[in-house]
Structure 1
């Protein structure tokens, strides 16, 4: 994808002007990505993305293909560990994506905000009612097996389930899911306009952001003022993509404080994706970019609606184009996040 964009930009420079309509080298029209706000080929940016449930314990790291995700969610699951959900539109040439683990119910609500097809390998019992009612299009490794997933030989089960572009397409065909966005879908995030950036001059310094609330992997981000990106760390070292060996980076971090409890009689987390636990719509949060952080609130009008991130002066947050990490944090652990 990046090569296609570069080719389009070079073509525009060669003729000394920027055309009204920009095309990739293969003639594919360029559009604004709903995930990143960047210019991408229409064949990527106007086809439903896939949201993949990713392993995030030591035995499952480093993940493969995660660097191609436009949006990544991190949320707690049972046992004080986290799982990640990468949302992909640019994955056609990725050798493998994973390792893939089982679904938790709150993730399907996050995935649906992007009209994504949700890929996972199994699920908790609390997800089954949603699947039985066909409330979200999903690719389940337990049901689809080798049609849409494969097991690698370099890791032990259950940490060796993967997929790739071809297998995902086979799974979509098998399940009969649409590839087009649903009618009326206009994207999720609001991005800064071309030629501008959101520098948060009113924000507090956030050159390092530590999430000590996640006491298994202890994730944190460090800002690089030269690249204007945050580098991701966990388990005391750089988090990399297994396919490239390169460290993961992002342009935006959204912190979404949420009511987190457990289902009665179980260790499974129950995360409220709509209210703050007191019945009030949404909750508090932070927007972090360009080495600074501001307070925000998040709002969501229905389980299957889109989460809106609102500044304290009642404006929709404008993200800087690029990769976004969304951190779902228990709302009584605000002090466990530190900024330097």
Structure 2
């Protein structure tokens, strides 16, 4: 079981919480139910009469001596020795990289902090609203060894920690809101805090931007911080990852779903959107009226999967600090290849490490209860206040 209560739960227990989920009923309307389908290339044709006769002859022991044995079907996910499929992207990676715990880094998304550095190397990115309607990003990195500049790095919000725990990640931040202190103190949360013991080891400031937009980390800083605090470097035994990826020779198309060539998650300040790029088969990311680029590469951010995840939420105080319910489940819209399908999210309690539901990964299911397979590649998850459901644009 988890230790203590989240800020969201404490808020409800004080009797101040009002449910803000009326719009969720829209999802259940007839006509919004789409099945997530995979394009597996050629489908096997119906068995011909001659093949059927051959099978019957084989079963009765009458098959001729010249009939060759059927070749075993090759495993589409078979990899070279020393390689494995990434828990973050589903793509082949070196086992040393794939078995290493990722780092989940809080990224400054204010306009004054653009462009970010190193974000294109994050295989998974989460975006949540924080106070004042601004958003903050969290990038999950597994292959960061060649990065000398990642950031800029900002402070922690409790709900990001719950998300990092889904990936068995080491959480990196520069300070924290008061509501996150109790969770950060739990022994199952491994974090590197710029205002804590590992601060000078992990982080550095640049002179090209004013504080607080000039704090960065690096591969060497990450490694030094992990060693200094003695954190476990590899995934725990039995870790299975969060996402269910399709086979390497398959492509999820969401055939039969709704159009999602243009996506607006309705964040009010940065006003981001994603446009599907027919040439690359990926979604290009925009915000603040322009393409979002990585300072280190000069290239626009692009993603194979976009997940809109709707969470219950509450405002905690007059300073507009928010809480998100990261445990109870809700609605999702999964977008890929210019199409979307509707489903649900919930914590997979059976996969929780040591029975701790805070460490249980969120999984995604279609409306028939089957776990959704997503495409291999990079994923961007927009966690959205459930009251904003009707304001989201998918077209």
Q: TM-score scaled by structure 1?
A: 0.89
- In the alignment, which residue of structure 1 is the partner of 2:80? 22
- Offset at 1:153? 1.1
User: Which whole-Å deviations, capped at 9, do the CAs of 1:1-44 have from their partners, x for residues lacking one?
Assistant: xxxxxxxxxxxxxxxxx996525xxxxx1110000000011121
Are 1:114 and 2:161 counterparts?
no
Among 201, 204, 207, the residue aligned to 1:153: 207
Among 79, 88, 93, the residue aligned to 2:146: 93
- Offset at 1:202? 1.4
Are 1:310 and 2:368 counterparts?
no
Q: Distance in 1 between matches of 2:223 and 2:172?
A: 12
The alpha-carbon distance between structure 1 residues 19 and 235, as it changes in their structure 2 partners (threshold 3 A), is closer
Among 254, 265, 268, the residue aligned to 1:200: 254
Mapping 1:154-173, distance limit 5 Å: 154-173=208-227
- In the alignment, which residue of structure 1 is the partner of 2:314? 261
- Offset at 1:194? 1.7
Are 1:285 and 2:352 counterparts?
no
**Larger Rg: 1 or 2?**
2
Are 1:73 and 2:126 counterparts?
yes
- Offset at 1:336? 1.4
- Secondary structure at the aligned position of 2:233 is classed as coil
Mapping 1:1-340, distance limit 5 Å: 21-22=79-80, 29-143=82-196, 144-212=198-266, 214-275=267-328, 282-300=329-347, 301=349, 302-340=357-395
- Offset at 1:135? 3.1
The alpha-carbon distance between structure 1 residues 20 and 287, as it changes in their structure 2 partners (threshold 3 A), is closer
- Secondary structure at the aligned position of 1:191 is classed as coil
Structure 1 runs, 4 residues or longer, greater than 2 Å off? 18-21, 131-135, 301-304
The alpha-carbon distance between structure 1 residues 245 and 206, as it changes in their structure 2 partners (threshold 3 A), is same
Identify unmatched segments of 5+ residues in structure 1. 1-17, 24-28, 276-281
| Number of equivalences | 311
- Offset at 1:264? 3.7
| Structure with the larger strand share | 1
Identify unmatched segments of 5+ residues in structure 2. 1-75, 350-356
8 Å Cα contact 2:148-2:220 kept in structure 1: no
- In the alignment, which residue of structure 2 is the partner of 1:7? none
User: Which whole-Å deviations, capped at 9, do the CAs of 1:173-209 have from their partners, x for residues lacking one?
Assistant: 1111010111211111000112111101111111110
Q: Distance in 1 between matches of 2:150 and 2:295?
A: 10
Higher relative contact order (CA 8 A, sep 6+): 2
- Offset at 1:96? 0.5
User: Which whole-Å deviations, capped at 9, do the CAs of 1:63-110 have from their partners, x for residues lacking one?
Assistant: 100000010000000010000000000111112100000000000010
